[in-house]
Amino acid sequence: DRPLAVIAGPCQLETLDHALTIARSMARACEAAGLGYVFKASYDKANRTSLGGRRGPGLDEGLAILGKVRQEIGCPVLTDVHAPEHCAAAAEAGVDILQIPAFLCRQTDLLLAAGRTGAAVNIKKGQFLAPWDMGPVAEKVASTGNERILLTERGVSFGYNTLVTDMRSIPQLARTGYPVVMDATHAVQQPGGLGGASGGQREFAPVLARAAVSLGIAAVFIETHEDPDNAPSDGPNMIPLDAMPALLSDLAAFDRLAKERPLRP
């Protein structure tokens, strides 16, 4: 019943300054709205639609930036890991939450390696999975003795190049006992929808965020950028940074009401 946390940041790390600017701005907006804040960014986009898509600064430089954001802004940080051998490095660099990408959410070795770090592990539900398929996925992490698990809804395949978010997933994921996160910006992606890149419907991210928050969730995940249309990845679905304060104010109001009035069993 704690207030909503906001996991937010740019899709991929660009420079230290860029990361600090966004983190500072988001931390301030979350504080104003009475919400928690976790900085999010990727050091490597390991599964871009096309080879030509930019991938980010890589593990070493990326972890260094994340460590400085954590230190300067004083917020926890989250990043996604793509190989078992990256997990320990990320945790040692102080990453608070290791995120398992949706495509990789069934890869046993990655889940075990992440669990073994003792860091929190946020598992994105694969676009090819039902909510109830996430129980066995979470158990892989929990088998390491690490129960600091979060489960993220980010849409499910619905025909070609389209995702749909099934709101029944929120209470179904919650049955596992783990906190549930709504990834509002990836859920509006149109995978591969631009031919050599993914499209997105930025305008619907607040719609899905609000609907999920009204059901009572632990956190909302939102990618944001000061200039999405010129961002190196995920531009079509990221929310402009200057639209975040108003959005967070709305979400905070729905979050308070949802926690006053939890869904009846």
Given the rule CB under 8 A, which of 69-77, 103-111, 117-125, 228-236 is the region that contacts its own copies? 103-111
Of 108-147, which residues contact its own copies (CB under 8 A)? 108-109, 126-130, 132-133, 136, 139-140, 143
CA dist 139 and 33 (Å) reads: 34
Among 15, 31, 72, 168, binds its own copies (CB under 8 A): 168
Q: Does 188 bind its own copies (CB under 8 A)?
A: yes
Task: Let me know the angle formed at the C-alpha of 153 by 238 and 52, rounded to the nearest 5 degrees.
Answer: 45
Residue 128 CA from chain centroid, whole number: 18
Among 191, 200, 235, 236, which residue interacts with its own copies (rule: CB under 8 A)?
A: 191
Q: Name the minimum Å distance from CB 20 to its own copies.
A: 27
Q: How far apart are CA 242 and CA 114, in angstroms?
A: 34
Q: Which is nearer to its own copies, 103 or 146 (CB)?
A: 103
175 counts as binding its own copies under rule CB under 8 A? no
Report long-range pairs for 49-57 (Cβ below 8 Å, ≥24 apart).
49/191, 49/192, 49/196, 49/197, 49/198, 50/196, 50/197, 52/196, 53/197, 53/232, 53/233, 54/12, 54/232, 54/233, 55/12, 56/12, 56/13, 56/232, 57/13, 57/14
From the number of C-beta atoms within 10 Å of its C-beta (0-12, 13-18, 19+), residue 194 rates as middle
Ranges within 6-35 binding its own copies (CB under 8 A): none
Among 16, 64, 89, 211, binds its own copies (CB under 8 A): 211
List residues binding its own copies (CB under 8 A).
46-51, 55, 82-83, 103-104, 106-109, 126-130, 132-133, 136, 139-140, 143, 156-162, 164-168, 170-171, 188, 191-192, 195-196, 201, 203-204, 206-208, 210-215, 243, 246-247, 250, 253-254, 257, 260-261, 263-265
